[in-house]
Amino acid sequence: MRPKIFSKVFHLFADRRVWVRQIAVAGLAGAVSWQVGDLLIADGGVVAAIVCSLSIRVSLHKSIREGFGQIVGTAIGAAVALFAVSVFNMGFIAIGITIVMCSVVARALHLGEVASVNVPVTALIVIGPGLSGSTAVHRLGSTLIGAAIAIVFSYFSHPKTPVGRAIDQITTVSHKAANLLAEMSEGVAAGYTQKEAGNWLAKARLLIEDIPALRSQSVEARGHARWFPTAEKDEAEDVYIRGIALEHTVV
């Protein structure tokens, strides 16, 4: 009985190696952020670790894009927050203005959905309890440290490049679509029941749910190739076109 349990637990992690790698890198990045933040800024480790955990992504490209945007957005939001606190004191008006302005800035910087949430969260951390000019500056410095370390560790977060991940997703969705079409064609030729048709519809809907992630990864692959010197632009463009073509085929 025990060997079976241990085997199941082992396979839970062994079958999810990419996920295990991501959480291991995220944990190490958070620990390093805390250590570096405490060394460089008095009591700056906690803020640095929080920001690092919020900023780390599955790729260097995505982390740099969202990390710098988060730093800029947080700096603007914190500046607005300090002004609001100096005028209205710490209260619901200052907090409300901070959240609204950070959300507007995140939208203007075209940050992703997750980063758009992280910007006001980080700004609130910066202007949190014990607010003063020097404290806010120290927390902003800790924010910079956490985001910078997240960018560095994001390089090791996933074993493949954005193009490689896009190819994997295209291959997976293509196989699912091909298997579904083969199953449907065999069913139509042999005669099918309402239950079988319902199963096909359910599988098709699940397949369509994979499309947003596929589109996002294809766009990231093309964006990564534009600025990363070792990336193949032609390959990334081809992968992007394949992803769009597959999206239209599935939908």
Q: How confident is the model at residue 22 (pLDDT cuts 50, 70, 90)?
A: confident
pLDDT tens-digit readout, 39-75: 888 778 888 888 888 777 656 556 566 666 666 766 7
Percent of the chain with pLDDT over 70: 71
Residue 64 near residue 192, CB atoms below 8 Å: no
Residue 70 near residue 170, CB atoms below 8 Å: no
Per the model's pLDDT, the better-predicted residue between 68 and 133 turns out to be: 68
pTM (2 d.p.): 0.63
Min mean pLDDT across 81-95, 173-187, 236-250 is at 81-95
Over the chain, what is the mean pLDDT? Answer: 76
Q: How confident is the model at residue 184 (pLDDT cuts 50, 70, 90)?
A: confident
Give pLDDT, residue 138: 78
Taking CB atoms within 8 Å and a gap of at least 24, the contacts of 161-164 are 161/59, 161/221, 161/224, 161/231, 162/59, 162/61, 162/62, 162/217, 162/220, 162/221, 162/223, 162/224, 162/236, 163/221, 163/224, 163/225, 163/231, 163/232, 163/235, 163/236, 163/239
How would you label 130-168 residue by residue, b for 16+ Cβ within 10 Å and e otherwise? ebeeebbebbbbbbbbbbbbbbbbbeebbeebbbebbbe
Min mean pLDDT across 90-99, 129-138, 178-187, 211-220 is at 129-138
How is residue 109 written in tokens? 């910087």
Question: Residue 229: enclosing H or E segment and its boundaries?
Answer: none
Give pLDDT, residue 82: 73
Per the model's pLDDT, the better-predicted residue between 41 and 84 turns out to be: 41
Q: Please give the average per-residue pLDDT across 28-48, as a whole number.
A: 86
Give pLDDT, residue 128: 67
pLDDT over 60 (residue 2): no
pLDDT over 70 (residue 27): yes
Give pLDDT, residue 204: 85
Q: How confident is the model at residue 108 (pLDDT cuts 50, 70, 90)?
A: confident
